[in-house]
Structure 1
Amino acid sequence: MLSHRSTEIVRATLPAVGGAIGEITPLFYDKLFADRPELLRDLFNRGNQAAGSQQQALAGAVAAFATALVEHPETRPDAMLARIAHKHASLGIAAEQYPLVQRHLFAAIAEVLGEAVTPEVAAAWDEVYWLMANALIALEARLYERAGAPDGDTRFPCAVVGRLAETAEVTTFLVRPLDGRPLPAARPGQYVSVQVELPDGARQIRQYSLSGWHDDALQFSVKRVSGDRAGEVSGHLHDRVRVGDTLLVSAPFGNVTLDGGDSPVLLASAGIGCTPMIGMLSHLAATGSTRRVVSVHADRSESSHAFRADLDRLTAKLPDAVAHVWYERPEAPRPADRTGFADLTLIDVPAGTVAYLCGPLPFLRATRAQLLASGVRAADIHYEVFGPDLWLGRDA
């Protein structure tokens, strides 16, 4: 809980800090990488840094946490913190890195806001930072302990034992631990981090959702991303990694996971957002679930729709399941109400539904709004985004 004095100061200065956060965060990263260039080379996503999306996500997280502290002082934003902690744990973020971030972040704040950052203002925002940082450190420590890696390094070398082209842009990889260890525990909806060494020596890391379930291998799927920096890892995996090669893979993480109840389930995705959803659907089919299952997917066309055959096959295996698919540019005749963007107002959403969403932000926002209008509780709508969470801090 933020102290009363700091609460008043943060409330008064939040508009100024929030208004300048777009200047503060790029300057922070410039200072951080000037001090520790290896972090950009081997930890932070160079594509997201170049595009500015990581800066936007950090700004949203800091502003959202500070707003929550002053508007709801008795409640900690645990859902937001859990999402960040899982992403940090998948990257191996260590507790000792938080003071480094604090030093450069506050240097950037002071440089941008100048004399407005009095000692009292600096102390109040320092309190905000360490409330957030210490909460994340504790959450991440528990995640590391659960993964059997209290030192924070959950990655292990894996042999690529299978590779399958799903579409021209999406490839599925199956990997198995080289040392013969049992597969790490995983829950439907989680992702793994994959680290590759690029031609320039950088060891870049990306997260990929588990898209299927096997007794002896982890399965994840990768969409080729265009752009020099944006797609350097996906391009490397598509072009260079073959069966028999080795990848460094983390234990599974992610807090948006299929619950174990018996309520109806709605799985809604767009584009490559289908990967965690097909993983959940695969788990439901493998366990013989009798739950009511509604799958919704939107894609550009049939040829770009990864796991199209799997969606039909898994839906048919479940006793009470249905799938609805929309294509923007269908390659074969389709009903008018299944051409264009997904529209959940056209389908029956069962009472008591728990929904899981994954896809681009416009899809998430539109789908969530339609689900709320259909009577689904906000608490029962869970979402996953790929890359920096630019929805963080919104009512989502």
Structure 2
Amino acid sequence: MLSEKSAATVRATLPAVGAAIGDITELFYEKLFAAHPALLRDLFNRGNQNAGLQKQALAGSIAAFAAHLLEQPGTRPDVMLGRIAHKHASLGVTRDQYAVVHRHLFEAIAEILGEAVTPEVAEAWDEVYWLMANALITIEERLYAEHRILAGDVWREWTVAARIEETADCTTFHLVPADGAPVPAFKPGQYVSVRTELPDGARQIRQYSLIHSPGSPVRAITVKRVHGTGGPDGEVSAHLHAHVRTGDTLHVSAPYGDLVLRDSAAPVLLASAGIGCTPMLSMLEHLAETGHRAPVTVVHADRSPADHALRADHRALTLKLPDASARFWYESGAEAGDETGLVDLTGTSVAPGTQAYLCGPLPFMREVRAQLIAKGVPAADIHYEVFGPDLWLATA
């Protein structure tokens, strides 16, 4: 909870800070990477930095956290904090790195806002920062403890046991621990980070969902090759597709992610687009294995059936459930039983009490969420996962 004095100052200055937050975060990253170039090389996603996506996500989270402290004093935005903390844990972020971020962030604030940053203003926003940072540190250290690993020590060598070409742009990699030790437990819908050394020596990290259920003996990820739109192709996805073969070794993190299937008898709706189907496959397999009896609605959108990774598994797992249906929408090439165009839930029955899980591009998830709310699904029962920086708040 913000102190009364700081709350008044933050309330008075939030409009000015909010208006300048984009410039502040841009300067922050310039300062951070100038002082610590290894962070850009080995921790931060260089593609997201070049596109400005990480800047937008950081700006949105800071503004949202400050606004929450003012509007709902005594509470925390735990959903937002949990999502960030899981991503940080999958990257191996540690407590000491928050002090580094603090130094460069507040240098940027002072430089952008100038004389407006009085000692009182600096003290108030310092309190906001450390409330957010300490909350994240606490969650992250709990996540590390759950896997019985030291803070930041998330990496382990895994061997590629098999490589399967799913579509022209999607490849599945089956993984086994290189040391033969037991595989770590995970929850349906979670992801792992993969750290790859690129030709220039950078060790870039990306997240990929585990596509099977926790009860499956197989641990696998499906990687979609990212084709740049007006920019370079995805560094890590392109490298994995071009160079990683059966028998090769990858550095893989412990599993994390807050978009997980809740253990309940509630009806479920799983909506995905593109490679967003991967966490849904894990959830579907788990539902089938545990004998889920309530209605399950599967919704997926893609460019075409040929582009729909794991399409046969998507449908087969749905058919294993006693009360489940699947509707697939394609931009082109729809086959018998499929639909053409954008997802339209008008004719889809959504059972009362449905828990909805969304994964895909942000515009897709916004549209599906709006349709579900119009059908009476409470916002609290709609859960989502973003591949990459979470821009939901930044673009709200």
Query: What is the TM-score when the length of structure 2 is the normalising length?
Result: 0.97
Q: Where in structure 2 are the equivalents of 1:47-62 lying within 5 Å?
A: 47-62=47-62
2:303 equivalent to 1:300: yes
Indicate if the aligned counterparts of 2:160 and 2:247 stay in contact, CA closer than 8 A. yes
Deviation at 1:331, TM superposition (A): 4.9
For 1:163, give the aligned amino acid: R
Secondary structure in 1 aligned to 2:122? helix
Measure the CA separation in 2 of the matches of 1:87 and 1:186: 15
Q: For the structure 1 residues 232 and 97, does the alpha-carbon distance in structure 2 shift closer, same or farther, using more than 3 Å as the test?
A: same
Deviation at 1:200, TM superposition (A): 0.5
For 1:375, give the aligned amino acid: G
Measure the CA separation in 2 of the matches of 1:233 and 1:126: 36
Query: In structure 2, what is the equivalent of residue 383 of structure 1?
Result: 384
Query: In structure 2, what is the equivalent of residue 237 of structure 1?
Result: 240
Measure the CA separation in 1 of the matches of 2:315 and 2:391: 32
Bigger mean CA offset, 303-312 vs 100-109: 303-312
Query: In structure 1, what is the equivalent of residue 290 of structure 2?
Result: 287
Deviation at 1:230, TM superposition (A): 4.9
Structure 2: segments with no counterpart, 5+ residues: none
2:244 equivalent to 1:254: no
Query: In structure 2, what is the equivalent of residue 148 of structure 1?
Result: 148
Measure the CA separation in 2 of the matches of 1:361 and 1:372: 16
- Calculate percent identity across the aligned residue pairs: 64
Secondary structure in 2 aligned to 1:73? coil
Q: Where in structure 2 are the equivalents of 1:54-203 lying within 5 Å?
A: 54-203=54-203
Post-superposition CA distance 1:112-143 (Å, at most 9, x none):
11111111101000000000000000100000
Measure the CA separation in 1 of the matches of 2:387 and 2:350: 26
Secondary structure in 2 aligned to 1:16? helix
4+ residue segments displaced more than 6 Å: none
Deviation at 1:297, TM superposition (A): 0.4
Query: In structure 1, what is the equivalent of residue 375 of structure 2?
Result: 374
Deviation at 1:384, TM superposition (A): 0.4
Measure the CA separation in 2 of the matches of 1:179 and 1:307: 29
Measure the CA separation in 1 of the matches of 2:97 and 2:232: 25
Q: Where in structure 2 are the equivalents of 1:284-363 lying within 5 Å?
A: 284-332=287-335, 338-363=339-364
Secondary structure in 2 aligned to 1:163? strand
Measure the CA separation in 2 of the matches of 1:230 and 1:7: 44
Indicate if the aligned counterparts of 2:57 and 2:394 stay in contact, CA closer than 8 A. no
CA RMSD of aligned residues (A): 1.4
Bigger mean CA offset, 142-151 vs 88-97: 142-151
Measure the CA separation in 2 of the matches of 1:390 and 1:71: 21
Measure the CA separation in 1 of the matches of 2:359 and 2:84: 17
Measure the CA separation in 2 of the matches of 1:341 and 1:15: 37
Query: In structure 1, what is the equivalent of residue 220 of structure 2?
Result: 219
Measure the CA separation in 2 of the matches of 1:120 and 1:134: 21
Deviation at 1:286, TM superposition (A): 2.5
Indicate if the aligned counterparts of 1:23 and 1:112 stay in contact, CA closer than 8 A. yes
Post-superposition CA distance 1:241-294 (Å, at most 9, x none):
001000000111001100110010000011111111111111112233223110
For 2:152, give the aligned amino acid: G
How many aligned positions are there? 393
Q: For the structure 1 residues 92 and 229, does the alpha-carbon distance in structure 2 shift closer, same or farther, using more than 3 Å as the test?
A: farther
Measure the CA separation in 2 of the matches of 1:275 and 1:207: 12
Secondary structure in 2 aligned to 1:211? coil
Secondary structure in 1 aligned to 2:301? strand
Indicate if the aligned counterparts of 2:209 and 2:221 stay in contact, CA closer than 8 A. yes
